[in-house]
Amino acid sequence: MRGFLLIDKAAGLSSFDVIRQLRKITGIKRIGHCGTLDPFATGLLICALGSYTRLNSLLEARKKSYEATLRLGQSTPTGDPESEVEETLSPNINRFDAQAITDAALALTELAIPKYSAVKIQGQRAYKLVRKGVEVEIPPRAVQVHSFRFLNPEELSEQNPYLSYVCTVSKGTYIRSLSVWIAAQMQTVAHTVSLRRTAIGDISVADAVKLDDLGDWQAALVSCEMLFGHIPSQRLDEKQISTLKHGQSLPVEMADAEQVLALNNKGEIETLGFVKDGNLRPKVNFRR
């Protein structure tokens, strides 16, 4: 079995907890997700089943949209509610300028990577090294903030030091770091208290299902065309698909493209290939 499920992850579960539960539900061992969500976060997790896990990188590369709330004046080691407050400062409400911060956010080119992250340093996860007391140095990561907007700026006060915002960002952007950056613009500290991923590319969490509501999981599988509408595709018959799966090229009336999906008559992806000089050549063939 191969396919994709859109899961609306609940708070308190790690992304791997979701995979573990899906393995029990489906009986399929080979399952992967497209973009980790921290345990405290909720929202869209695209899960690939079977041979389609090899397509994860195509989805992970897409921009992602979030809703987040930060708490000004308090920082935690992890940048979220999963660790104790380590520093308390004035929330500096008087330094809040929604338009200036929005403009600066949209101009960002890099952000720090949290030390408590899954980034690998010499083969080991950063958060594991930190928990062992090892000092880690992680260079900032190149990012792009495609859109940014505060949701409740008029509600910010000394009594309510919380700011909510929505954003769409490039792959690998840590929203925990973005919240810390926002606070730094006000010369204070903060941590993210809630986080929800609302979309990956044009795939919305509104189309996802909660694990507890996943009854007939096969009926919940989503079409490849829905997920990969951003990549050129070509529907082929069985003979043409067989040609590609034997490593041979296929003449097609398409412009040159680095990525092309070959679909069968059911709309399932059979091959990831590329087009050069009017010929579709296979890169990856997917087992049924």
DSSP state of 209: B
Beta bridge partners of 279: 251, 276
191 vs 143: CA distance, rounded Å: 20
Task: DSSP letter for 201, please.
Answer: T
Strand locations in 41-150 (E)? 42-49, 64-72, 74-75, 87-88, 110-111, 120-121, 124-125, 141-142, 145-150
Can you tell me which residue has the tokens 């790690």?
Answer: 14
Which is catalytic among the residues 8, 17, 38, 80?
A: 38
Rg for the chain, CA atoms, rounded = 22
DSSP-derived secondary structure for 244-266: HHTT--EE-S---EEEEEEE-TT
Burial zone of 145 (CB within 10 Å; 0-12 exposed, 13-18 middle, 19+ buried): buried
Dihedral angle over CA of 67, 72, 77, 82, nearest 10: -50
DSSP category for residue 113:
P
Secondary-structure percent of the chain, ordered helix, strand, coil, rounded to 5: 25, 35, 40
Listed in order, strand segments (DSSP E) in the chain are: 3-9, 31-33, 42-49, 64-72, 74-75, 87-88, 110-111, 120-121, 124-125, 141-142, 145-150, 162-169, 190-200, 203-204, 233-235, 250-251, 257-263, 269-276, 279-285
Q: Do residues 65 and 197 lie in contact, with contact meaning Cβ atoms separated by under 8 Å?
A: yes
103 carries an active-site annotation:
no
Cite the active site residues. Answer: 38
